[in-house]
């Protein structure tokens, strides 16, 4: 969070750019293109560009693609920035006393910002909209995304809105926006080279992306969603509602959740799942050994669920998750050249106290998706902070690097 550009967007699921550095250390920029199927807030792509490597990635959330594109554009000129920021401020001032169209404010945001700040936020948004230059619009929308985090009454993404906590320094949206934008321009000046070396597609990595050629990358550095019920649609809903990409639960399901690897029980309808039908899927047929083990876990999770509060369908979630990841791994294999390596940061899981060796399963599934060899390197133990919860399992979980060859 203290590294320039990387710290432009507070993203719960982001990983450390230093991880990318360590891996890139063994590669040459001249003959390496890096693939990132889960671009997130762009850590891999930004770090590759900083170090002079070409990279290409997919991210299925439009909001996050905008964030990444803003973080990758280091050609903003100071003079253009100055003119635009003046215009935005003028726009906000001249709209200040306008009779407010309060119904323009999304009801969720009304509960998260004081009224003067909310007026300023919407006014800044509309002021940015008047700018002709796409790159400048992305740049200022990025600054506005950060302002949404910093001026809220409650933290809005830890990973979800945390109404029991209060931000000490909430409000003052315009002032914060100006400060954040100025800092961003300064950060750009610190970037080592200003060439654009990375491309991100607003694309679902489970599906073949024809814009990325077969065997075009030598390395993959990524962190897929974990099997831990984190709902990315919920994580980004304050922003996506504010920018009018979504407006309610259904919208989030259609426009966000359905384009993501199934990682939360909110992504599907339980009644749509049938184990017999699933057993006939390509995934089940190509991964017979894994499938057999998953069915045992599926039954155990159902059994344990009966003794737990909250009837979540983790058994179904698990099946969808591995099927989706099989598709992602197949596409990854297509994009990677012979001899390439893939580094995936992953967490193990224990839905309703049943241990699922997620990393190992994905290693096995990768073998059936065209990879030749895998190894697992444990980075840390995780989940300990939940140990005090009375219904929490006491299985030790870990975060791992899965290396595929
Ligand atoms: C764990 S985060 C990646 C974090 C990233 N390494 C970073 O530092 O920001 C997973 C990301 O994958 C995206 N995602 C999930 N399913 C996807 C899919 N099928 N295709 C493309 N992106 C997807 C999510 O929107 C989320 O931003």
CA distance 64 to 235: 11
End-to-end CA distance of the chain: 31
For residue 33, give every residue at least 6 positions away whose Cβ sits within 8 Å of its Cβ, in sequence order, or none. Answer: 53, 54, 55, 56, 216, 217, 218, 219
**How confident is the model at residue 295, as a pLDDT?**
98
Q: What are residue 79's phi and psi, to 5 degrees?
A: -65, -40
Which residue from 15, 16, 20, 38 has its CB within 8 A of the most atoms of ligand 1, so it is best to mutate?
A: 38
What is the best residue among 23, 39, 347 to mutate for testing ligand 1's pocket, by most ligand atoms within 8 Å of CB?
Answer: 39
**269 CA distance to ligand 1 middle (Å):** 22
**Alpha-carbon gap, residue 243 to 245, rounded angstroms:** 6
Q: Is the CB of 225 under 6 A from ligand 1?
A: yes
Distance of CA 114 to the CA centre of its chain: 28
- Quote the CA–CA distance of 9 and 15 in Å, as a whole number: 12
Q: Whose CA is nearest to atom 12 of ligand 1?
A: 38
Smallest CA-to-CA distance from 233 within 250, 251, 252 is with: 252
Q: Of 241, 12, 41, which is closest to residue 121 (Cα–Cα)?
A: 241
pLDDT digits (tens, 9 = 90+) for 300-326: 999 999 888 778 999 999 999 999 999
CA–CA dist 202, 211 (Å, integer): 11
Is the CB of 180 within 6 Å of ligand 1?
no
List the pLDDT tens digit at each of the 405 positions of the chain: 889 999 999 888 888 999 999 999 999 999 999 999 999 999 999 999 999 999 999 999 999 999 999 999 999 999 999 999 999 999 999 988 776 666 789 999 999 999 999 999 999 999 999 999 999 999 999 999 999 999 999 999 888 899 999 999 999 999 999 999 999 999 999 998 778 999 999 999 999 999 999 999 999 999 999 998 999 999 999 999 999 999 999 999 999 999 999 999 999 999 999 999 999 999 999 999 999 999 999 999 999 998 887 789 999 999 999 999 999 999 999 999 999 999 999 999 999 999 999 999 999 999 999 999 999 999 999 765 545 455 556 688 999 999 999
Helix (H) / strand (E) containing 339: strand 336-347
Tokens of 7: 């710290």
- On the question of a cis peptide bond just before residue 159, with omega within 30 degrees of 0, the verdict is yes
Closest atom of ligand 1 to 64 CA is 27
The structure tokens listed for 397 are 């979980």
In degrees, rounded to 5, the angle at the alpha carbon of residue 275 between the alpha carbons of residues 273 and 278 is 80
In total, the chain counts a number of residues equal to 405
Coil, helix or strand at residue 129:
helix
d(CA 397, CA 360): 13
Q: What is the pLDDT of residue 96?
A: 83
Cα 83 to ligand 1 centroid, rounded to whole Å: 35
For residue 10, the model assigns a pLDDT of: 84
Give the position of tokens 């726009």.
Answer: 91
The closest residue, in CA terms, to atom 24 on ligand 1 is 40
Ligand 1 pocket, residue 148 CB under 6 Å: no
Helix, strand, coil share (%) of the chain residues, nearest 5: 50, 10, 40
Q: pTM for this one?
A: 0.95
The predicted pLDDT at position 308 comes to 84
């Amino acid at each position: 969070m203290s590294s320039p550009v990387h710290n432009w967007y507070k993203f719960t699921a982001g990983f450390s750019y230093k991880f990318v550095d360590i891996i890139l250390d063994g590669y040459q920029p001249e003959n390496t293109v890096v693939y990132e199927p889960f671009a997130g807030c762009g850590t891999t792509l930004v770090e590759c560009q900083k170090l002079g490597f070409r990279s290409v990635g997919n991210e299925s959330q439009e909001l996050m693609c905008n964030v990444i594109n803003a973080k990758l554009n280091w050609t903003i000129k100071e003079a253009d920035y100055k003119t635009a920021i003046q215009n935005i401020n003028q726009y906000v001032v001249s709209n200040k006393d306008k009779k407010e169209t309060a119904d323009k404010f999304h009801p969720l945001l009304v509960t998260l910002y004081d009224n003067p700040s909310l007026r300023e936020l919407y006014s800044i948004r509309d002021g940015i909209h008047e700018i002709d230059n796409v790159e400048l619009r992305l740049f200022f929308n990025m600054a506005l995304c950060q302002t949404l985090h910093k001026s809220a009454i409650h933290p809005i993404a830890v990973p979800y809105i945390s109404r029991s906590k209060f931000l000490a320094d909430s409000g003052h949206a315009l002032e914060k926006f100006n400060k954040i934008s100025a800092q961003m321009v300064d950060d750009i000046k610190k970037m080592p080279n200003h060439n654009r070396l990375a491309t991100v597609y607003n694309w679902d990595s489970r599906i073949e992306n024809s814009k990325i050629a077969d065997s075009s990358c030598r390395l993959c550095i990524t962190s897929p969603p974990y099997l831990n019920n984190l709902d990315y649609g919920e994580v980004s809903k304050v922003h996506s509602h504010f920018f009018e990409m979504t407006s309610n639960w259904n919208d989030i399901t259609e426009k966000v959740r359905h384009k993501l690897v199934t990682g939360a029980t909110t992504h599907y309808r339980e009644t749509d799942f049938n184990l017999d039908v699933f057993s006939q899927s390509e995934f089940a047929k190509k991964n017979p050994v894994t499938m057999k083990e998953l069915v045992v876990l599926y039954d155990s999770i159902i059994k344990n669920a009966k003794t737990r509060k909250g009837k979540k369908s983790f058994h179904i979630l698990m099946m969808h998750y591995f099927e989706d990841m099989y598709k992602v791994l197949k596409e990854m294999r297509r994009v990677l050249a012979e001899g390439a390596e893939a580094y995936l940061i992953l967490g193990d899981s224990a839905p309703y106290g049943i241990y699922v060796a997620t990393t190992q399963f994905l290693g096995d599934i990768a073998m059936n998706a065209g990879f030749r060899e895998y190894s697992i390197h444990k980075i840390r133990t995780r989940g300990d902070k939940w140990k005090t919860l009375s219904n929490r399992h006491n299985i030790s979980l870990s975060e791992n690097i899965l290396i595929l060859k």
